[in-house]
Chain A
């Protein structure tokens, strides 16, 4: 069964607008971590943001925020004020405490339009 689902293979957003990338996950663990990574066309994987399952506040890192809804098992990434340099693949990932492994979703390709 898919542990991480990203239902949007591709998305477009106008420069300076906000965009939400969806991520839902499946786990029976009570303690886990959720992550978002960015992969630009150059290929490197860049860590963006982290949310722990016990964290009560939604994580924020600059223009990135994570909309964490634990009951719905969703961890959507919100990018505010999109920039051309945000065009990339975005991967949602989860680490289950006892699995000690990071599982990645299939990714969403974001294109920012001028």
Chain B
């Protein structure tokens, strides 16, 4: 158990809908990362937050947004869903220390858009 909690584990929804994925980082970790893993594109970095502020942005679509709350949990919002958004979405947390930072992943949310 990595200590990173993601909910829900599975999500089935229809095109055009909106969903929210939730992540609780490990106790003490200030940084949260979101990744998307699809079969044809591997692990793609979406966005990173550090202590409530956006730190880095990757290939995140405009239909997607995220935030990190004062208690450090994070939510990833996906709207106007398309079939191609079906993927495994990972949250990971790390304690931000230069050179010794390690990512610890949650178990992921499997999103299926029908």
A contact set with B: CB distance below 8 Å? 31, 33, 35, 37, 43-47, 50, 52-54, 91, 93, 95, 97, 99-107
Interface range on chain B (Cβ under 8 Å from partner): 20 to 34
The CA-CA distance from A63 to B98 in the complex, in Å, is: 26
Closest 7 CB pairs of A and B: A45-B105, A104-B43, A106-B42, A44-B107, A101-B56, A52-B99, A100-B56
Q: Tell me, yes or no, whether B48 is within 8 Å of chain A by CB.
A: yes
The CA-CA distance from A99 to B58 in the complex, in Å, is: 11
B110 adjacent to A50 (CB under 8 Å): no
The CA-CA distance from A55 to B103 in the complex, in Å, is: 19
B45 adjacent to A101 (CB under 8 Å): yes
CB contact between B103 and one of A31, A35, A52 (< 8 Å): that residue: A35
A91 adjacent to B43 (CB under 8 Å): yes
A43 adjacent to B88 (CB under 8 Å): yes
Q: List 21 A-B contacts (CB under 8 A).
A: A31-B98, A43-B107, A43-B108, A44-B2, A45-B108, A46-B2, A47-B103, A47-B105, A50-B100, A50-B102, A53-B99, A91-B43, A97-B98, A97-B99, A100-B55, A101-B45, A101-B58, A102-B45, A104-B35, A104-B45, A106-B42
